[in-house]
Amino acid sequence: MIQILELFGGIGSPRCALRNLGIPVKAIDYVEIDEKAVRSYNAMFANELPYKTQSVVGWNLKPDILIHGSPCQDFSIAGKQKGADEGSETRSSLMWETIHIIEQMGAWKPRYVIWENVKNVRSKYMVHNHNRYMSELASMGYTSNYELLDARNFGLPQARQRYFTVSVLGNEYFDFSNLIHTKMQDIKNFLETDVPEYYTVTQPSMLRRIDGLSDYKGSFKGRVPVIKDYAMTITCKQMRSPNSGVIDLGNGKYRYLTERECWRIQGYTDEDFNNALKVHPGKKNCLNGALYKQAGNSIPVPIFESLFRKIILGETERMEEQTGQLRFV
C-alpha cells in the first residue's frame, strides 16, 4: 500500500489518480486551508475517515510520496507577482513549510516529493525561489528535475501548462521524457447538453470582448476566447473572468462552461462532482462559485496518473521509430 501526504491538497487530485489506477493508498494526512475544498474532499472520499484542516509540522509522518501544490497567486502573471521569498508572508511563500516539514521528519524521508506550480515560477523574477527550493531538497539528499507539462498531452482538452518538479531521494534523476501521454480527447465528450439559460453570457462588456473589439471601454478587461478544440486554462474565477473561454451557441449567443464541465476538463469523474455538489448545492438558478473555484485551483488528474504509472507501476512510454506506434515498457 502506498502512503501519501497531501499538502495544499485541494480536492484530492493525486488521490483520485491513485484510485483510478487501482493502486491501494493510505492518505497519512491531508492539509488544506479552504474549508469548502475540505468538505468536497471528505464527500469524495466518504468511505474513509474525514480530514480536518491542520498543521503537520512536527508530526512523525512516514509517507512514501509527499505531494504539494503550494498557492500560486503570488507567482502567477494573473496576480500581483509578489513572489515567494521566505518570510515575505505571501501565500506562495508557504512552499517553504514543505521544506520545514521534511526537515523535521529526521532520518526517515519520503522517497518522492512532487511539487506543481504555474509556468511563471521559472520567470527571471521568480526562478530564484524555485532554484532555492531544489537546493534545499538537495541538501537533504534529493535529486530534483522539473518539466513543463500540458494537460492536452494527457488526454484533456485544456491548454494548461504547469511546472512539475519531482525530487527523488538519492541520486536517481527523474526522467520526464518517457511519461505515458494520451491523445487529447474531443471536447464535445466533456460538454453537457440541455444547459440551463442562466449559463448564457448576458453581460454586454463580456460579449464585446468575445467579438474582440479593441476600442471597447467597460468594466470587464479580460479576453474571452471562443472554445473550439480545447478550453484555455480553467481558473478559479470562471464566473467573473472566463479566461478558459465560452461556448458558441450560434445567433450571437454564448454560454459559460458549467461547473461540471470544468471538473470534467480537469479529469474528475461525474461521481466526484456529484459528491462535491451534495455538500455545495449552491443557490437555485445561479452559478456555483465554490465548485468553479475548486476546479480552477486543482491539478489535472491524468497528469498524476501518468506520474504514478512511472513512479509506482514502472510503466513508461517509448515511441517506436519505424512504426510510430506507442508501446508501454
Domain ranges of the chain: 2-179+300-319, 187-296
**pLDDT < 70 positions in the chain:** 49-61, 70-93, 211-222, 318-329
- Name residue, grid cell 488521490: 15
pLDDT at 324: 46
pLDDT at 213: 45
Taking the complete model, does pTM exceed 0.85, yes or no?
yes
Task: Let me know if domain 2-179+300-319 sits in CATH 2.40.340.10.
Answer: no
Question: CA 151 to CA 182: how far, in whole Å?
Answer: 10
DSSP strands (E only) in 238-309:
247-250, 253-255
| Beta pairing partners, 143 | 168
pLDDT at 59: 54
CATH architecture of 187-296: Alpha-Beta Complex (3.90)
pLDDT at 136: 94
> How far, rounded to the nearest angstrom, does the alpha carbon of residue 9 sit from its chain's CA centroid?
10
What angle in degrees, to the nearest 10, is found between the helix axes of 95-103 and 127-139?
10
22, with CB counted inside 10 A (0-12, 13-18, 19+), is exposed
Instruction: Name residues whose C-beta falls within 8 Å of residue 174's C-beta, 6 or more positions apart in sequence.
Output: 143, 144, 145, 166, 167, 168
Using CA atoms, how far residue 152 sits from 19, 113, 221, 271, 299, in Å, is 21, 24, 27, 23, 13
> How far, rounded to the nearest angstrom, does the alpha carbon of residue 27 sit from its chain's CA centroid?
18
Give the pLDDT confidence of 223-238 residue by residue, as tens digits. Answer: 789 999 999 999 988 7
Domains 2-179+300-319 and 187-296 fall in the same CATH topology? no
- Do the beta carbons of residue 253 and residue 200 sit within 8 Å? yes
pLDDT at 281: 97
